[in-house]
């Protein structure tokens, strides 16, 4: 993707609205914020997936400053809800202001704590399944998030994983850190798991869509 082609892509894409744009600028100014933030096109894509799947109940693992949360919450119907999980309220509090300004704060439920423990709590509650799950958290935890969250995704529901190419490190055997290993393990699991249909997209840092098959059960 050359700079010229990237500029053209941005020119033919829908413009980022003021609230999202302001949240993006604020996030990019944070240490490491630019790396942890979705590209605008990814936010549009997530919103489109919410609408296409008719999702009414979403689980997000990894909130950060709530940019992706806002993209998905806006795409939900009025009665829709998104449960978003993060380990640090410092970041989610930033997002809360923008969710309020966008008029979707009543659709967002924040859960603070270790995401694996939050997923376990949600499984114990088991009030109703999720239509869509978006995972963009600690990469070493991805395999566990997949295995432990799939049971609470409805049949035909969708799981979306960000950073599945992880800056190209997954293809470099020299990288053996826990995060890179976690992404590689997830990618291998998804490829071999007959409970899901998988499509890997070379979008930004890589996004994988995993649709839960009817025969997967609960």
The predicted pLDDT at position 156 comes to 97
Instruction: Report pLDDT for 80.
Output: 98
pLDDT at site 217? 64
| pLDDT the model gives residue 172 | 95
What pLDDT does residue 199 have? 98
Taking the model in full, what pTM does it have?
A: 0.95
Strands annotated E in 62-206: 81-86, 108-112, 130-135, 153-162, 196-201
From CA 70, how far away is CA 47, in angstroms rounded?
Answer: 9
67-82: pLDDT as tens digits: 999 999 999 999 999 9
Spell out the domains of the chain, with CATH numbers in brackets.
3-216 (3.40.50.150)
Question: Which residue numbers in the chain have pLDDT < 70?
Answer: 216-218
Category of 137 on φ-ψ map: left (φ > 0), alpha (ψ -120 to 50) or beta: beta
pLDDT at position 218 is: 59
């Amino acid at each position: 993707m050359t700079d010229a082609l990237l500029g053209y892509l941005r020119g033919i894409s829908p413009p980022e609205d003021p609230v999202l744009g302001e949240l993006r600028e604020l996030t990019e100014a944070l240490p490491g914020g630019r790396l942890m933030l979705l590209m605008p096109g990814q936010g549009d894509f997530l919103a489109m997936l919410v609408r296409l799947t008719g999702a009414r109940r979403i689980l997000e693992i990894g909130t950060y400053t709530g940019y992706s949360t806002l993209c998905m919450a806006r795409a939900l119907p009025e009665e829709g809800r998104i449960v978003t999980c993060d380990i640090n309220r410092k970041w989610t509090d930033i997002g809360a202001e923008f969710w309020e300004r966008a008029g979707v704060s009543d659709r967002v439920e924040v859960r603070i704590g270790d995401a694996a423990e939050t997923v376990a709590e949600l499984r114990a509650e088991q009030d109703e399944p999720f239509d869509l799950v978006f995972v963009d958290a600690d990469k070493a935890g991805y395999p566990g998030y997949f295995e432990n969250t799939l049971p609470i995704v409805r049949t035909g529901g969708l799981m979306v994983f960000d950073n599945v190419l992880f800056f190209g490190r997954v293809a470099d055997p020299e990288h053996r850190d826990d995060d890179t290993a976690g992404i590689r393990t997830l990618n291998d699991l998804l490829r071999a798991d007959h409970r899901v249909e998988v499509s890997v997209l070379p979008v930004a840092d890589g996004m994988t869509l995993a649709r839960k098959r009817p025969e997967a059960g609960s």
